[in-house]
Chains A and B, each alone.
Chain A
Amino acid sequence: QVQLVQSGAEVKKPGASVKVSCKASGYTFSSYNINWVRQATGQGLEWMGWMNPNSGNTGYAQKFQGRVTMTRNTSISTAYMELSSLRPEDTAVYYCARRVVGIDYWGQGTLVTVSS
């Protein structure tokens, strides 16, 4: 069955970077885009960007341009999202998700806490 398994929770200081991984299984990793979505506690869903695992092409929401980098390692079917220059308002659960037509499979989420 399709699974997206994310790395564990992170605690970072303001100004640092965080890199979250997302390991895919149960389907051909290169066939579908991976999206990243975040959600602060009690808030709505915020779409961050997408990555094509086959080509490595990416598209980022304007809000995150210059601070986010999405990459992949196709040999281990893993996608990565790195967010730099962290600030307290980046504290959120970060999800990776597979997009077919809609976003049909989601990882379990990774809590990133930014605090001094």
Chain B
Amino acid sequence: DIQMTQSPSSLSASVGDRVTITCRASQSISSYLNWYQQKPGKAPNLLIYTASNLQSGVPSRFSGSGSGTDFTLTINSLQPEDFATYYCQQSYSTLYTFGQGTKLEIK
């Protein structure tokens, strides 16, 4: 299986900050990388698909980039509702895998 490694595992930031979360694949996955946000007690929510495409309804402060093995999720001007856990997921292989998650907390 393709392994996905996110960094950092946790992150403290303030409202208005710009933050970046990194996801690395154990082999090249082209652009088949998706990002999700999850809040406590809720199902995940798709933010970005195929590395850089914003899902409908997701605010434009979220953006994604990368290809091959290295990817980033950037959140510009953090809002209070953005404090959550973020996961990357590869869909290059028919057997998908998630990263371990990055918890974004309020500083």
Chain A residues in the interface with B (C-beta under 8 A)? 35, 37, 44-47, 49-50, 59-62, 95, 97, 99, 101-104, 106-109
CA gap between A61 and B94 in the complex, in Å: 9
Chain B residues in the interface with A (C-beta under 8 A)? 1, 34, 36, 38, 43-44, 46, 48-50, 53, 55, 87, 89, 91, 94-101
Q: Nearest-CB distance from A108 to chain B (Å)?
A: 7
Contact A45 B44 (CB under 8 A): yes
CA gap between A32 and B91 in the complex, in Å: 14
CA gap between A7 and B2 in the complex, in Å: 31
Q: Nearest-CB distance from A98 to chain B (Å)?
A: 10
Which residue of B has the minimal Cβ distance to A106? B43
CA gap between A104 and B97 in the complex, in Å: 16
Shortest 6 CB-CB contacts between residues of A and residues of B: A106-B43, A102-B49, A102-B34, A44-B101, A102-B46, A45-B98
On chain A, the residues within 8 Å of B55 by CB distance are 102, 104
**Dominant SS among interface residues on chain A:** strand
Contact B95 A45 (CB under 8 A): no
Which residue of A has the minimal Cβ distance to B33? A102
Contact B98 A46 (CB under 8 A): yes
Q: Nearest-CB distance from A56 to chain B (Å)?
A: 15
Contact A35 B43 (CB under 8 A): no
Contact B44 A59 (CB under 8 A): no
Contact B43 A47 (CB under 8 A): no
Which residue of B has the minimal Cβ distance to A59? B94
CA gap between A103 and B45 in the complex, in Å: 8
Contact A50 B96 (CB under 8 A): yes
Contact A106 B44 (CB under 8 A): yes
Contact A102 B98 (CB under 8 A): no
